[in-house]
Amino acid sequence: MGQSFSSTDRGDLESSFTAYFNNIEIENKIIPPGIIHLIKRSLKKGDVLEAHHSISGGLECIYYAPINVAVTGESGAGKSSFINALRGVRPEEEDATHVGIAETAMRTPYKHPKIETLTFWNLPGIGTMNIPPKYYLEKVKFQEYDFFVILSSTRFKLLELDLAQAIRLKRKMCYFVKTKVDADLRNEKESKPGTFDRVKTLQQVRRHCVNTFVQNNMDAPPIFLISNHNLSDYDFPVLMDTLVKDLPAQKRHNFILSLPTNTVAVADRKHKSLQQCILLEACQAGILATLPAVDILMDGVEELKVKLNHYRVLFGLDDDSLEVMANDSQVPVEQLTKNINSPYLLETKKEETLGEMFLKYVEKFASANGGPLATGLYFGKTFYLQLYFLDTVTEDAKVLLRETYFKKLVQAQLIHSE
C-alpha cells in the first residue's frame, strides 16, 4: 500500500484541487476528465505514491501530447503563409514555409519553433493529384492528423467539398478557411471607391463561399474569413478559439501556447492554461513534502529565471520578439519596455527583496482565491513566485497590445486623413 499523509492535509489538498478545477470552464480545461478523477480519488484516499503518479501522468499527458495539423487547398490559396502565421515565422526566416513555390505531391512537415509537440503539415491540394478524396486521404496518411484546414483564396471547389465529407466520415474535424480577405476588400475599394462598404463586402465574400455548398446541395459549415497578414482581424481569432474548443483536453495546452499573443483573449487563455500546470506541479510538490514558506529563495533563483524566460517567450516578450514588435509597430524598443515589468523581476540579488516579493504575492493570491491553496503550505519553494511571474508577464503582454494597437490606430487615422 502506498504511503499516506494526514487526514487534514489530505482534506485540504483534495478540496483545493476539486474546487479549483471544478471552476474552470470546460473549453479551458487541459486535463482529461479521467485523469482528474484519478487524481481526486488518490488525494481522497490519502495515498501519496498513487497521488504523485496520477499527477505525474496528468502533466506528462499535457506536456507531451502530439498535435498534427493538416493544411490543404489549391495551389495559391495561401497554405504556406497560413502555416508561417501559425508558427510565428516570417517568410524570410530560414525555417519558414516557402511561399509561392510550385505545388508538389509530397506532404511536408513544419515544426512549431516554440512548441516541440506541434507539427503543421503542408499537404498537396486534392486537385493537383487527380484522385478521389478517399484515396487522397490514404495517400496523405489522414489518420495521423488531429484535424484538417481546407484553404481557398477564391471559392471552394467540388473536390474540396467532397474531401470534407470524406474526412467527416472518418470522424475527423475539418474547417473551411477563405484566405486573402484583405485583398478582396482592397480590390472592392479600388473598384468602387464611392460606395465601398467594408461590412457589406465581407458579407458578400462569405455569401459567395456559402453558395458553393448550396449549389451542390450541401449544408454550409462555418467559413472563416482571414488574412494571413493581419491575424488579429477578421475571423482568425474565432477560428483559433474554435480549434481550441474542439481539441481533446490534453492537446489544448500546447496548442494554446502556440497561438500568437495578438489579442487580450489569447493572453488570458494562455494564462489560464499555464496556471493549471503550476497548480498541478504545486500539488505534486505538496504531496511529497511540506516546505515552510520561509525556506524559499536563493537556491531556486536560477530555476525561477528559467521559468520567467519561458513565460516571456510564450507571450512574445523575449528580447527577439520585442525587436520584431518594435519594427512592426515602428515604436522604439525602449518605449515598448518602459511600461512593462517582467524583464526586470529578477534583477536584484537581495534575498530580502525576493522575500518581500514572495510574501506580498502570497497575501495577494490569498485574498483573491482563499482556501488551502492560498495558505502557503505544501506548494514548493517557487510556487507563488511562478504565479507572480505569470501574472506579470500576462499583464505586460496586454500593455504592449494596447500600446501597439494605439499606434496602429493613429497611423490608420493619418492615412485616412490624407
Taking only the tens place, the pLDDT of each residue in 144-169 is 999 999 999 988 999 999 999 999 99
Beta-bridge mates of residue 150: 72, 176
DSSP symbol at 4: B
pLDDT at 257 over 70: yes
Kindly state the DSSP code that residue 25 receives in the 8-state scheme.
-
Q: Where are the domains of the chain?
A: 66-247, 290-417
Question: Which DSSP symbol is given to 91?
Answer: T
**Which residue shows C-alpha cell 515602428?**
330
Cβ proximity of 93 and 40 under 8 Å: no
Sorting pLDDT into bands at 50, 70 and 90, what band is 34?
confident
Task: Kindly state the cell numbers that stand for 384.
Answer: 507563488
Q: Give the three cell numbers for residue 373.
A: 491553496
Say what the pLDDT of residue 13 is. Answer: 64
**pLDDT higher at 96 or 258:** 258
Helices (H) and strands (E) in the chain, counts: 17, 6
Q: Which residues pair with 71 in a beta bridge?
A: 122, 149
Torsion of CA 190, 196, 197, 203, to 10 degrees: -60
330's grid cell: 515602428
> Can you tell me the distance from the alpha carbon of 52 to that of 300, in angstroms, rounded to the nearest whole number?
22
Among 284, 272, 307, which residue's Cα sits nearest to residue 394? 272
Whether 413 has a pLDDT exceeding 50, the answer reads no
CATH of 66-247, one of 3.30.930.10, 3.40.50.300, 3.30.1360.70, 2.30.40.10: 3.40.50.300
- pLDDT of the residue at 379: 53
The sheet carrying 173-178 orders its strands as: 108-111, 118-122, 67-73, 147-152, 173-178, 223-225
How far apart are the C-alpha atoms of 52 and 286, rounded to whole Å? 10
CB 374 within 8 A of CB 362: yes
Partners of 68 in the β-ladder: 119
DSSP 3-state assignment of 376? coil
Q: 10 Å Cβ neighbour count for 126?
A: 25
Cα distance between residue 369 and residue 104, in whole Å = 54
Name the pLDDT band for 412 (thresholds 50, 70, 90).
very low
- What is the percent of the chain with per-residue pLDDT over 90, rounded to a whole number? 41
Give strand pairing partners of 119.
68, 111
Q: Residue 173: CB partners within 8 Å, gap ≥ 6?
A: 146, 147, 148, 167, 246
Question: Which residues have CB under 8 Å from 26's CB, separation 6+?
Answer: none
Q: Are 99 and 83 in contact (CB under 8 A)?
A: no
> Which residue's entry shows cell 528559467?
306
The kind and range of the H/E element at 377 are none
Point out which residues pair with 120 in neighbouring strands.
69, 110
d(Cα 132, Cα 143) in Å, to the nearest integer?
A: 17
Residue 120: its pLDDT value, please? 97
Whether the CB-CB separation of 337 and 394 falls below 8 Å is answered with no
Q: Identify the pLDDT of residue 294.
A: 35
Grid coordinates standing for 266? 489569447
Amino acid letter, residue 90: R
**What pLDDT sits at residue 37?**
85
List the single range of 8-12, 70-74, 160-164, 375-379 with lowest mean pLDDT: 375-379
Euclidean distance between CA atoms 350 and 366, whole angstroms: 25
Q: Mean pLDDT over residues 21-47, rounded?
A: 80
Give the per-residue pLDDT at 405: 67
Q: Name the pTM for this structure.
A: 0.84
Taking only the tens place, the pLDDT of each residue in 274-333 is 999 988 887 777 666 533 333 444 445 677 788 899 999 999 999 989 888 888 778 888
| Confidence at 6, pLDDT banded by 50, 70, 90 | low
Residue 411 has pLDDT above 80, yes or no: no
